[in-house]
């Protein structure tokens, strides 16, 4: 009979919880805590510029896509108006008449 190889368990090094030292009382405080028992508040970590730029890029992509949709709808509406007016020249004349009426107000 052939011996079956048994899986050996790898030893994992135990890590201690991340800590930070309070500059006022030199006490070790868990890294997740924002303040020490003595009242010292640790400064918040600043976000990296990469994350900020990624958020701005995501927002601009979303705004560009909504702008594209709005422009395509406006274009479709404009085409309908020109068709109803009977042509581009007639639509321009109507627009000029509307501008004249606005001046009278």
Cα–Cα distances (Å) from 93 to 75, 77, 78, 87, 102, in that order, read 19, 18, 14, 10, 14
Domain count along the chain: 2
Residue 68: what pLDDT?
Answer: 73
| Tens digit of each residue's pLDDT (9 = 90 or more) over 24-52 | 898 888 888 888 988 898 888 776 666 77
Domain span holding position 91: 47-105
Residue 2: what pLDDT?
Answer: 60
Residue 84: what pLDDT?
Answer: 85
* CB-CB contact of 5 with 12 (8 Å): no
Same structural domain, 60 and 82? yes
pTM value is: 0.33
Residue 44 CA to residue 35 CA, distance in Å, equals 10
| Tens digit of each residue's pLDDT (9 = 90 or more) over 50-71 | 677 777 777 766 666 676 777 7
Angle between helices 49-85 and 88-104 (to 10 degrees): 100
Same structural domain, 53 and 74? yes
């Amino acid at each position: 009979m052939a011996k079956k190889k048994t899986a050996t368990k790898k030893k994992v090094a135990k890590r201690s919880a991340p800590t930070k030292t309070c500059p006022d009382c030199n006490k070790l405080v868990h890294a997740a805590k924002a303040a020490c028992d003595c009242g010292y508040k640790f400064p918040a970590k600043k976000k990296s510029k990469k994350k900020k730029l990624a958020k701005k890029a995501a927002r601009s992509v979303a705004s560009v896509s909504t702008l594209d949709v709005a422009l395509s709808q406006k274009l479709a509406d404009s085409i309908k108006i020109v068709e109803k007016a009977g042509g581009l020249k007639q639509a321009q004349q109507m627009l000029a008449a509307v501008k004249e009426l606005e001046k009278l107000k």
